[in-house]
């Protein structure tokens, strides 16, 4: 399809194409001009204002918005990259610039724990460090190991301690408590981190990311 930058849609054309009434950004912003038309060039200029979008992403989202307004899309297929960008174009036409968000995600490749964060416009490193600190609040449980327990006997009780991580506990000689109450050994439980970048809508989730978050 020829996605010409000079393409426009009149109000009549949009209504004929059954464009939904809840495309608030389209009806309340893009159509509000003297000519009462929506310009494809305005959509492109809008998307360029979203901080952090790559040129190919601007191209893909704008083309899918073009398809939506032309009523030429083929419908959702949630395993299709085409329809992922169609979803983002839908969210843009509905919510405007706020409908597309660039989310960062710290992900552990071992236990699959994830922490989402949005880069701070003034201090990206601070946002990353805060996410990393939150990630490390809970150790990587798949890397957990059993304690290597030693003990010192005293009068009526003994002191149990792990020679690897240092955790210790005081036990009565007659106690029935087992070693599970001492938790897991935390000596080698650091996450193996991968930093991901994800395009999403903060208001309407796409299935690829919903599955990860459930």
Q: What is the DSSP letter of 161?
A: E
- Is 41 among the domain residues? yes
Based on the domain organization, do 91 and 154 belong to the same domain?
Answer: no
Query: Is 19 in the same domain as 94?
Result: yes
Distance CA 107, CA 130 (A): 14
pLDDT tens string 158-210: 888 787 677 777 777 666 665 556 666 765 567 888 888 999 999 998 875 44
Is 120 domain-assigned? no
Q: What is the mean pLDDT of residues 57-80?
A: 83
Share of the chain above pLDDT 90, in %: 42
Q: How many domains does the chain have?
A: 2
Name the residue range of residue 92's domain: 8-99
Q: 90 with 154, same domain?
A: no
Q: What share of the chain is helix, strand, coil (3-state, %, to 5)?
A: 40, 20, 40
Q: Has this prediction a pTM greater than 0.85?
A: no
What value does the mean pLDDT of the chain take?
A: 83
pLDDT of residue 210: 47
Same domain, 13 and 93: yes
Q: Which residue has the higher pLDDT, 50 or 4?
A: 50
Give tens-digit pLDDT for 106-160: 889 888 888 988 876 555 667 888 888 888 887 777 666 667 778 787 777 888 8
């Amino acid at each position: 399809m020829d996605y010409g930058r000079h393409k426009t849609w009149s109000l009549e054309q949009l209504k004929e194409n059954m464009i939904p009434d809840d495309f608030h950004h389209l009806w309340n912003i893009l159509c509000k001009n003297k000519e009462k038309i929506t310009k494809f060039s305005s959509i492109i200029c809008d998307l360029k204002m979203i901080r952090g979008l790559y040129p190919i992403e601007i191209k893909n989202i704008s083309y899918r918005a073009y398809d939506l307004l032309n009523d030429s899309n083929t419908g959702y297929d949630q395993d299709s990259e085409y329809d992922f960008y169609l979803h983002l174009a839908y969210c843009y036409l509905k919510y405007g610039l706020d409908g597309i968000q660039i989310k960062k995600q710290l992900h552990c490749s071992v236990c699959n724990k994830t922490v989402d964060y949005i880069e701070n416009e003034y201090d990206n490193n601070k946002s990353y460090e805060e996410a990393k600190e939150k990630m490390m609040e809970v150790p990587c449980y798949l890397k957990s190991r059993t304690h290597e327990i030693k003990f010192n006997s005293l009068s009526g009780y003994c002191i149990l301690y792990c020679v690897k991580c240092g955790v210790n506990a005081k036990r009565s000689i007659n106690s029935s408590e087992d070693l599970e109450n001492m938790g897991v050994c935390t000596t080698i439980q650091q996450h193996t981190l991968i930093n991901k970048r994800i395009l999403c809508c903060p208001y309407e989730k796409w299935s690829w990311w919903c599955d990860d978050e459930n």
